[in-house]
Amino acid sequence: MSTWTAYEVVFRLRAPLHVGWSKVGNLLLTRPYVLGRTFWGALTLRLTRMATAGAATDSSLYQQYGQQVHEQLAYTYFYPALQRGDEYVVEWPWLNEAIFRYRFIGSYVSAALSYPVQSAKEGMLHEVEFIAPHTIDEGKPVFLKGFVFEKNGSSLPWQKALQALQFGAERTYGWGAVELVRCVPTETVGWSHQDCVQTTFNLEGEKVVVQMPENGYLLAHAHAGANTVVGNIEPLVGREWRSNSARARQYAGQHLEAQGVFHTPGSLLQTEGRFYIDSFGLWRPTEVNG
């Protein structure tokens, strides 16, 4: 009997989605996928508020449910997909970046106003990229597809929480709203890439293991240094709310948590590789335990 049960999970994107990446001048760039950490944050938020009837004002409660997510679930990143019949087919951002950006990435320009002088405030003009809820060229609905792995014996009501998630930034403006359209157990779990390159998952062990073929694309941030990989690397640093901390930086987003240096999704693995899915959906080589 497997240690984990795999679920194919698909959301329909109902509003623009901005997943913070970097800034170039006045332009705030979005990642073209949903990070595992973004999924974890949205799920932890909803689970905590479900358990407290929305009255969770102590960050320790969020830490408690966030740790339960780490222990009882594993998950992939979520990628834009289009519906073809009964299937949802992922559109990989790196296979043809120009076409992908033309179809899926839009931007919104805004500025804070200075009413006494009836003009924009100095330095407050900014442009925010987003993954569009409909394809820009044909107006087709955009979906987000990924996999969630539930450890046997889990007591988390995570499937109920999936029905009320909101991802990314600008949420107070309604951005990041999604509708759950599929959450079904699957025995044929894996990603199919261009030219039928297959990425499969082993559900038998203590951790979900990803089996990568030669010349396969990394589909999550993978720990740098243990494999021959062609692509970019970047440090991952997350912002957290720790109101119960005895130290300073107790307000939302003030605490910085460094996760390490990783190969970015879309990097090419030149040899076969095996990774286990760690917290936040990060991939670590099976021989690296850090």
pLDDT over 60 (residue 246): no
Q: 41 versus 122: which is more confidently predicted?
A: 41
What pLDDT score was predicted for residue 212?
87
Q: 117 versus 96: which is more confidently predicted?
A: 96
**Rounded average pLDDT over 30-39:** 96
**Rounded average pLDDT over 80-96:** 93
**Both structure tokens of 24:** 């170039």
Domain boundaries, the chain: 4-285
| The length of the chain, given as a count of residues | 290
**Rounded average pLDDT over 135-139:** 95
DSSP letters spanning 131-158: E-SB-TTT--B-EEEEEEEEETT----H
Q: Is 183 exposed, middle or buried (0-12, 13-18, 19+ CB in 10 A)?
A: middle
pLDDT over 60 (residue 195): no
What pLDDT score was predicted for residue 117?
58
Give the DSSP letter of residue 66: H
- SS3 for 206? coil
pLDDT over 90 (residue 76): yes
- SS3 for 215? coil
d(CA 197, CA 213): 7
What pLDDT score was predicted for residue 254?
60
Residue 140's nearest CA partner among 11, 10, 13 is 13
pLDDT over 80 (residue 250): no
Query: 199 Cβ partners below 8 Å, 6+ apart?
Result: 190, 191, 192, 193, 210, 211, 212, 213, 216, 219
Q: Is 279 exposed, middle or buried (0-12, 13-18, 19+ CB in 10 A)?
A: middle
**Both structure tokens of 70:** 């780490």
Which range scores top for mean pLDDT: 137-151, 168-182, 241-255? 137-151
What pLDDT score was predicted for residue 271?
87
Identify the bridge partners of residue 7 per DSSP, sorted by sequence position.
Answer: 148, 185
The proportion of the chain whose per-residue pLDDT surpasses 90, expressed as a percent, equals 55
Q: Contact 169/115 with Cβ under 8 angstroms?
A: no
Residue-wise pLDDT tens digits, 8-29 = 999 999 999 999 888 777 888 9
Q: Is 112 exposed, middle or buried (0-12, 13-18, 19+ CB in 10 A)?
A: exposed
**Both structure tokens of 7:** 């679920």
**Rounded average pLDDT over 258-266:** 88
d(CA 90, CA 191): 9
Residue 262's nearest CA partner among 279, 246, 244 is 279
| Strand order, beta sheet including 268-269 | 216-217, 268-269, 229-230
pLDDT over 80 (residue 113): no
Looking at 7-16, 64-73, 252-261, which range is the least confident one?
Answer: 252-261
What pLDDT score was predicted for residue 289?
40
| Average pLDDT across the chain, whole number | 86
Confidence tier at 288 by pLDDT (50, 70, 90): very low
Confidence tier at 290 by pLDDT (50, 70, 90): very low
pLDDT over 50 (residue 1): yes
d(CA 40, CA 42): 6
Say what the pTM is: 0.88
pLDDT over 80 (residue 118): no
Angle between helices 59-72 and 36-51 (to 10 degrees): 120
**Both structure tokens of 79:** 């990628």
What pLDDT score was predicted for residue 184?
95
